[in-house]
Structure 1
């Protein structure tokens, strides 16, 4: 069975989360830092992840305002989706990522983690929340 890979894309960091083989549970995988807007580096990182895991779907966090209106990062994500489709023969599904980074930060604050530890965990936890949204909407 194949897994889902969730991507929480930022301008300098990206969080990854992965499902179990049955796509029932989501797990934080890792964070990846890159030079600002160097999304080719993210593509190379994904190639490494694909060498380790069998992935059948990319779940890409789609940022908008609460009203659904696009923001500047929305355009970056749309361009990145094109890069994914050009480089991999794997379907890409958008999932609204509203409030996921905020919720991830709240979870980490409630866990009494230091600011440094929160920074190191926030993006992959946000990716996990995005993947959980995807999994739960299929139930």
Structure 2
């Protein structure tokens, strides 16, 4: 079964998905939504689960967990925890947290080294960050 990963921000959410064997992670999209309107993100997750080509193929939701380098929580950490609770009211799949420290910086660096313009990096970085988070999760559970 596949894992769907989210890198949640206040206005964008990067999505990534694993292959059916849980070996390869692929970035799906950068989803833009109205600031702090997480209902739109939940609707997008439900779309992936129920109406997309991945219908009935996803068994776990992986959420990037933004903790500080000293492992303390920030306001973004609490935001993700609140989102997970709200999402859990709409789905029965397990929702797991995966440390996302450095994922966005690493995604930005990868895209910069690949020669992407600043504008193009902005459209790709969140889905690549979700892909990196999902790769870390898949390594951790294998």
TM-score range, shorter chain: over 0.9
Aligned-partner Cα distance in 1 for 2:58–2:69: 30
Partner-residue secondary structure (3-state), 2:97: strand
In the superposition, the TM-score normalised over structure 2's length comes to 0.95
Aligned to 1:70: 73
Q: CA deviation at 1:49?
A: 1.1
Q: CA deviation at 1:6?
A: 0.4
Aligned to 1:6: 5
Partner-residue secondary structure (3-state), 1:87: coil
Aligned-partner Cα distance in 2 for 1:84–1:19: 20
In the superposition, the TM-score normalised over structure 1's length comes to 0.97
Aligned-partner Cα distance in 2 for 1:85–1:23: 22
Q: CA deviation at 1:71?
A: 0.7
Aligned to 1:16: 15
Aligned-partner Cα distance in 2 for 1:10–1:101: 11
Any gaps of 5 or more consecutive residues in structure 1? none
Which of 119, 130, 133 is residue 130 of structure 1 equivalent to?
133
Aligned-partner Cα distance in 2 for 1:46–1:137: 23
Q: CA deviation at 1:43?
A: 0.5
Any gaps of 5 or more consecutive residues in structure 2? none
Aligned-partner Cα distance in 1 for 2:86–2:4: 15
Aligned-partner Cα distance in 1 for 2:10–2:18: 24
Aligned to 1:43: 42
In the TM superposition, structure 1's runs of 4+ consecutive aligned residues that sit over 3 Å from their partners are: none
Aligned-partner Cα distance in 2 for 1:27–1:5: 10
CA RMSD of aligned residues (A): 0.7
Aligned to 1:117: 120
Q: CA deviation at 1:64?
A: 1.0
The aligned length equals: 138
